[in-house]
Amino acid sequence: MILLSHPTGNQFVRHLVQELLAHQLLFRFQTTLGFANNPALFRYLPKRLARELQRRAYSIPFSLLSTRPWYEGARLLAARLNLSGLIQHEKGWFCVDAVYKDLDLFVAQHLDNWRDQVHALYGYEDGALESFRRAQALGIRCVYDLPIAYWKLGRQIQSEEAKLQPEWASTMPGIRDSMAKLSRKDEEIALADTIVVASTFTRNSLKLSPTSCSEVIVSPYGAPPVTRPRTAFNLDRQQPLKVLYVGSLSQRKGLSYVLQAIAQCGPSVRLTLIGQRVAPCIPLDQALQEHRWLPSVPHAQVLEEMRVHDVLLFPSLFEGFGLVILEAMAQGLPVITTANTGAPDVLTHGQEGFILPIRAVEKIAHALETLERDRSLLAKLGKAAQIKAKQLSWQEYAKNICLHLEQNTH
């Protein structure tokens, strides 16, 4: 049986929990805030409260859901009250790092009670050190999920970027991680018996790790279901090419190169940005005055915006995968992105979009101008992208992991 621990239960965690349950492998899902999914109860709550609770609702038996709500609850409250000192990066009492560490320690302290039932512990980056230490002492297998590429490569790329684009350096907070935090990451990797990643890029980044793991599973994330086959494309060259960027407004995502390429293309290309600021940045603030910007929208609205745009532009410098790539493909959008994402695992250059080198402003602009001129190619790539997205399900992502765990967990 497998104990899975994650503080917030995001999309890929939820699908894995469901598949572990279906394979009768789930001993318990340990999280911070969690509720049994009860639609009848949510109907009687105020809409805003119901939406908040549904984000932490899980469709698993209540007996398999264990919570540790205090730090995460305090973090959310501090954010709501704008008590920024309490959630300051690595230093605040209730910062994200504190939430991860508290849950990790809680699992470590209770593993002895579960040692006869738990054969594997499935943990995530930044939240597995203490529990892995205890699991190794008890002879419990440690499975480590690394959702973003290895930190040394990330720091190398972002440090280079801070020199190339110093006015954007403030938008890359990852380069400010302490050595203590980075050392924790390395020890987590060293303790892992198996590492799970979502992209070949992430797997290859582990070559920079001082320790190696003999088992690395690559299981790409899934696309949302294709509920609306795309039949209408922007074939009229009298209409501008509508370009969409979705993600945090960070230079780690290659945002300055988005803006430079759009500027080269002129008025025949229009840009919409969806995402929140991560830090003050003068050139970003100027750009947000020039382009359409949606700072925060529900996920359903993001998908709606994709359906009325022509192409996703996501030239990220450093990712674990880039889930927005598959979300856009499922809506019938070709994608312009980089090899430093999960794109090489899920699309072919020239068939469902374009995979370019990082920082390649001229090539980004050329790809956009090609699609603006050749609207039949735009439609062809969009149709192919949606067909490919249909083949990439969340169930397949989770099933690949479960099958490996079944074979290697006794």
What average pLDDT does range 100-109 have in this prediction?
96
Residue 406 three-state SS: helix
* Residues 401, 332: Cα–Cα separation, whole Å: 28
pLDDT at 42 over 80: no
CA 78-79-83 angle, 5° bins: 55
* Residues 46, 151: Cα–Cα separation, whole Å: 41
Report residue 91 as tokens: 């230093």
Kind and range of the H or E run holding 66: strand 65-67
Mean pLDDT value across the chain: 91
- DSSP lists the bridge partners of residue 272 as 244, 292
pLDDT at 211 over 90: no
Domain 2-222+394-408 indexed as CATH 3.40.50.150: no
Q: Of 98, 97, 92, which is closest to residue 78 (Cα–Cα)? A: 92
* Residues 368, 92: Cα–Cα separation, whole Å: 43
Report residue 87 as tokens: 């959630």
What's the pLDDT score for residue 46?
73
Residue with tokens 């979009």: 353
pLDDT tens digits for 258-308?
999 999 999 999 999 999 998 889 999 999 999 999 998 888 899 999 999
| Residue range 241-390, CATH number | 3.40.50.2000
pLDDT band at 49 (very low <50, low <70, confident <90, very high): low
Question: In one letter, which amino acid is 46?
Answer: P
pLDDT band at 62 (very low <50, low <70, confident <90, very high): confident
pLDDT tens digits for 64-76?
999 999 988 899 8
SS3 content of the chain, % helix, strand, coil (to 5): 50, 15, 35
* Residues 385, 349: Cα–Cα separation, whole Å: 11
Domains of the chain, residue spans: 2-222+394-408, 241-390
Which position has the higher pLDDT, 89 or 397? 397
Contact present, 313 and 368 (Cβ < 8 Å): yes
What's the pLDDT score for residue 106?
96
Do the domains spanning 2-222+394-408 and 241-390 agree at the CATH topology level? yes
What average pLDDT does range 161-190 have in this prediction?
92
Cα dihedral: 79, 83, 87, 89 (round 10): 110
What average pLDDT does range 136-161 have in this prediction?
95
Residue 60 three-state SS: coil
What average pLDDT does range 111-120 have in this prediction?
92
Threshold 0.75, pTM exceeds: yes
Kind and range of the H or E run holding 285: helix 282-290
* Residues 407, 292: Cα–Cα separation, whole Å: 50
* Residues 295, 277: Cα–Cα separation, whole Å: 8
